[in-house]
Structures are given as C-alpha cells and as structure tokens.
Amino acid sequence: MCGIFAYLGKKKAQPILLDGLKRLEYRGYDSSGIAIFDGTKIEVVKKKGRISELIHLLGKKQLDGRVGISHTRWATHGIPSDENAHPHFDQLRHLSLVHNGVIENYQLLKQRLINLGHTFQSETDTEVLAHLIGHYYELGKEDDPTARLIQALKRSLKEISGTYGIALIHSEVPNLLVGARRGSPLVLGIGNEEYFLSSDVTAICPYAHKVVYLNDGDLVTISSETFDIQSLNKTNNGFEIRDVDQTEMSASLKGFPHYMLKEIYDQPETIRNAFRGRLIQEEATAKLGGLNMSPQELLRIERIQVIGCGSARHAGIVGEYLIESLAHIPVEVEFSSEFRYKNSPMDRHTVVIAVSQSGETADTLAAVKEAKRKGLKVLGICNRVGSSIARETEGGVFMHAGPEIAVAATKSFTSQVLIFTLLALLLGRLRFLSAREGHEIVEAIEALPDQVAEVIKLDPQVRELAKKYAHSKRFLLFGRQFQYGVALEGALKIKEVSYCSAEGNPSAELKHGIIALIDQFTPSIFLCPKDGVYDKNISNMEEIKARGGPIIAIATEKDDLVSKVADEVLYIPNAQEYLCPILTVIPLQLFAYHLAIILGKDVDKPRNLAKSVTVE
C-alpha cells in the first residue's frame, strides 16, 4: 500500500529509483513519481497511472543527481492524478517528501498553514506534512541546516496523528536523506557506499547486503559516509543490522505471463518449505520451535483467538476446523479490524494467533498491539521475516513461501493452512490424538507437494471451464466444515481479479435464502471431496440442479456419483479431509486467474487494490 524507495550514494539515482519502484509497484499503482537533487535544486517528475507512464514521461530525460526519493501510490486522500502523485514539495520547494500512511489531522494543519499564507497544489495529506516541516525549518534557529531539518521534522511528527513511513530530501542539506516511520513499514538498506530506504525489503535485495528493519518511532538520517537512527519513542531500544535474507530476493516471472499464475504453480515447493524440518516421524507430531512455548505452556492453552484479514482470515477459518478437530481446543476467528475495537472476553489461557502474509497489515498489527495490551500471549503466522507483526509477536511460525508479488494471495493461503495443520497436529498430539492418527497426518502432509502438483495439471481443463462460464456475472461457491473457508477464499479470488460477483457460503445455508439466487445463469461451484459431509453436499447440489442452476464440482478422484449431479467435475487426488482444503483451493485460484484473463483484466494489479494494506 504505497511504495517508497529512496537512494543516496555515488551512482546516478534515477535508474535505481525507477528499478526500485518497479519492484514495489504491487503496493500501489495509481500514480508514481521521483524527486532528485541535482546539486542546486530538487527536480520532481510525477505522473498519474502505472510506473510505465512515468518512465514514458521521463523519456530520454536523465535527472542528474545521486540522492533521490520515489513513490508509487495507492490513493487514500485525493483522487489518482498528476497533482496528487508524490513526491510533494513544501511551500518554498526546498523540501521534497514521499509518504505511506494516513495523517488523520491533516485538515486542521492545512487550515493553519493556509492562514499563514501557504498554498497547496494537491488534495493530499502528504503535502500538508511537507509544508509543515518546511514551515518549521524556516522558523528554526539552528545554524547547522541538518540539525535544523531534523528539529523541524521532529516538531512536525509530534503534531501529526496517524501513520507514516516517509522519506525526504532538502536542497539546503544536499547530502542527506531522511526517513521515519510510525505504523507504516520502512527498511534501511546498506550497500557499498550507498544507502536505500524502502517500504519493503524485496526492492532493496538486489542492491543491499545488510538491512535494518526500522521500528515504529525511528528516525534515520543518512549521509554519504554513514547513517544514524534515533528513536522518537522512549520505549524503543536500539536497532539490529541484519544480513539480507536471500529468500526475500525479488521474484522473477520465470517465464510465466503473470505473477499470480507463477505463484499458483509455486505451491508444490512452498508447501514443502512450510513443513520442511517441522515433522517428527518417530513422535508422529510437528515441531514448531519458533512458537517459543514449552509443551507445558502449550498444554495450558484453553482457547485460541485467530485474527487476520482477507485470505489470511479465510486460512484461519480452515485452521479453526483443524484445531478444534485434532486438538479439541475452542477456536474463534475474527476480522482483525473488528477484534481491535471489540471488547471480547479473554482469559489468560487464551492465545491469539495473528495471520498475515505481509506482516504489515495495519488492522492486524493494531489488533496484535491491542491483544498484547490486554496481556495476552500473541503468536504470528507470517511470511515476511522482519515484518512489523513478526517483530511484535512473542513467537510464531514463518511460512517461507518467498515473495508473493501478485496482489491476490495464492501460495500464502495454502502455506497458512499448512501451518495451521502443523499446529493442530502438535496441539493434538499433546492431548488426545493417538500416535497412529498422528502418523497418518504426517504421511499425508509429506504426500501433499506431489498431490498439489497433480492438481495444478488441471490447469488446461480449468481454463476451458473459465471460457465456458466467462459470460456469468455471478458465481456462488459452497463448502462446509474444512471446505467452508475454501469457499470464502475462492469467492474472494474471483471477485478480486475478475470483478465478477462471487459469494462463498456454507453449503447448508443454501435453503436459508441463497437458493433464491439460483437460475440458469448463475453457476454454483461446490467443494465436495469425499469427507464427513459429502452426502449432504450431494443433496444440496441436487436442490440446485432441480432449479436449473449449473454446477461445477471439485471432487475426489474416482467419485462417479458426483458427475451424475454436477455439470462439470474437477477431480483432486484422494487425501485426508484435513488436508483437502490445500488441494481444493487450487482449481479455484486457477479458475479466478483464467476468468480474469479471458475478461481482459489486469490480473496481477487488479483495480483499486494493493498488496499489504498498511492503512486502517
């Protein structure tokens, strides 16, 4: 959600900034811009639209300078336009600023500055912050311009409420790049006599060998020789310089036409990465050292509260069924955004599990902080090492799925479900689950990567189905028990990338209202592998068939009955019902992908969306 990339070093800044922006484009893509200091003044070029538009506008123009900032925007305040694109200047055009986050009191501050004679070029909250810092800089008494700028920044940051990750340069302080964060991510990259600031470590991987994940409240000043990090929060204690994690290396398309398809095809590997080294054959259980909890502590858990947004919450819903079935621990799944404002009763034996691919989702991060404030133990299931949620939580499990670039989550969902399976197995084996049952699950998990690869082979068949149903405006998805979360996830995928309306439902809810939507133009997609509710699903399909609704079923291989009821069947390999969600979701991901392509949509960058939602 908005990407910031900044550079200070000995090389020309422009190509590096543009390259960084391209790597961050998935975070927002309604406008972009760069600002470079050329030795006397700051030049800004910005443009509505994709980064390719900015590159087109720049043409052969090379802004000369070795320090600069850049931004790719996902609009919050002000429509996508050239004027609202970042970077923004202060009143005197000495300072240029890029920002990710939301300044909640910007209207008040703007009015104050207007009263002082300021004029604004945009509708953004960011421009107000640029003006405010510029205003305090002009008022500053310090002789040294660096000290004056830092003082002005500190004073301004104290006055704003809301969230920010910012980077700025100032023409009177030529060799200085400044960054700060509160609630929005910012990473410092250290290369050979060069420094970078980025919203995301992936974008600096090709350039930096060391990184510092800035903490909330950190302010970093970077000069050509060195950098300095001060904490504006009394609670922060220091920073850590880490080696760049190679798994964060920017992903390439590897010959696939889109990241979404590539990431669907990554799943045999990412599933394997999620359980590698985490299964103990002899004890028929899982080992999750990152939880930082002893068996005694794990045994004391009486209730689990899962929080997450979007796909992460859907994975949590599958996790609820897994943990309740295998470990008999009550689980509740809540939207992070609801949890943070809801006063749910919790006791000290409740453990909160925050699920987040990016580890930066603002609502989940805020919910984590709220749970911690209540004294609860909070664990994380995250993909991004070093992310805010990974650092805020006391322990957790990393997904090791590699960078997920497509806006629509695919491989992160299956990794999250797999991790819930490991957790359910671990908690179950500490309680009632027998060694025999444990063994069966361990074996089934080990068989999964090959089974996932089998399901991916359905791709051509799914593409044909998508073609056949591409005229449909609405899809209904049905699944129950372990498949309910999958139905929700499949519907979200269809909505996100094809913009068709899609609804996920527990199958049995059909007759409580949804059946009114059934007609010959509304396909129903049924998740009906051979599981405990198979017969019930077949009955629901019969009810739809009787009303003329087309049915696509995702069923277990060798199931002949289902093809008598459904119009189309996609067969997955035979698997334990606990593990079926990882298999059944893949045809849905492929279906959404092909539907979007057939309908001519930008599948990796769907309209209005952005990855990593760092605003509330």
Active site residues: 2, 611
Q: Which is nearer to ligand F6R, 311 or 505 (CB)?
A: 311
- The least distance separating ligand F6R from the CB of residue 301, rounded to whole angstroms, comes to 23
Three-class DSSP labels, 300-317: CCCEEEEEECHHHHHHHH
CB of 312 to ligand F6R, least distance (A): 4
DSSP 200-225: SHHHHTTT-SEEEEPPTTEEEEE-SS
Residue with tokens 């060694």: 435
Measured from the CB of residue 585, what is the shortest distance to ligand F6R in angstroms? 12
Least distance between ligand F6R and beta carbon 190 (Å) = 26
By beta-carbon proximity to ligand F6R, the closer residue of 124 and 361 is 361
Measured from the CB atom, the residue of 572 and 603 that comes closer to ligand F6R is 603
Rounded distance between C-alpha atoms, residue 38 and residue 421, angstroms: 55
Q: 199 or 364: whose CB is closer to ligand F6R?
A: 364
In DSSP terms, which residues pair with 421 in a beta bridge? Answer: none
Q: How far is the CB of 515 from ligand F6R (least distance, A)?
A: 28
Amino acid at 610: A
Find the farthest-apart pair of alpha carbons in the chain and give their distance in angstroms, rounded: 84
> Based on CB atoms, which residue is closest to ligand F6R, 362 or 533?
362
Whose Cβ is closer to ligand F6R: residue 496's or residue 577's?
496
Q: By C-beta, is 358 or 451 nearer to ligand F6R?
A: 358
Comparing C-alpha atoms, which of 410, 483, 417 is closest to residue 448? 417
On whether the CB atoms of residues 386 and 211 are closer than 8 A, the answer is yes
247 Cβ neighbours under 8 A, 6+ residues apart:
385, 400, 402
Question: Which DSSP category does 77 fall into?
Answer: S
Shortest Cβ 407–ligand F6R spacing (Å): 6
Is the torsion defined by CA of 290, 296, 298, 303 positive or negative?
Answer: negative
Which of 562, 544, 564 lies closest to 554 in space, CA to CA?
Answer: 562
For residue 252, give the 3-state DSSP assignment: coil
Q: What residues line the site for ligand F6R (CB under 6 A)?
A: 309-312, 356-358, 361, 364, 408-409, 492, 496, 612-613
Following DSSP, what letter does each residue of 514-581 receive, concatenated?
GGGG-STT--EEEEE-SSTTHHHHHHHHHHHHTTT--EEEEEETT--SHHHH-SEEEEE----TTTHH
Identify each DSSP E strand in 49-113 by its residue range: 67-73, 88-89, 95-100
Exposed, middle or buried by CB within 10 Å (0-12, 13-18, 19+), for 385? Answer: middle
The minimum distance between CB 428 and ligand F6R, in angstroms, equals 25
Contact 322, 457 (CB under 8 A): no
Smallest gap from residue 409 Cβ to ligand F6R (A): 4
Give the SS3 label for residue 162.
strand
Closer residue to ligand F6R, CB minimum distance, 178 or 494: 494
Report the residue closest to ligand F6R, judged by CB: 310
Burial class (CB in 10 A: 0-12, 13-18, 19+), 203: buried
DSSP state of 230: E
Q: Which helix (H) or strand (E) is 334 found in, with range?
A: strand 331-335
Rounded Cα distance between 32 and 55, Å, is 10
CB of 78 to ligand F6R, least distance (A): 22
Smallest distance, ligand F6R to C-beta of residue 371, A = 15
| Nearer of residues 200 and 568 to ligand F6R, judged by Cβ | 200
Element (H or E) spanning 484, and its range?
helix 484-498
Q: Where are the alpha helices (DSSP H) in 229-309?
A: 259-265, 267-275, 295-299
Q: Could you tell me what percentage of the chain is helix, strand and coil, using 3-state DSSP and rounding each to the nearest 5?
A: 40, 25, 35
* C-beta closer to ligand F6R: residue 72 or 612: 612
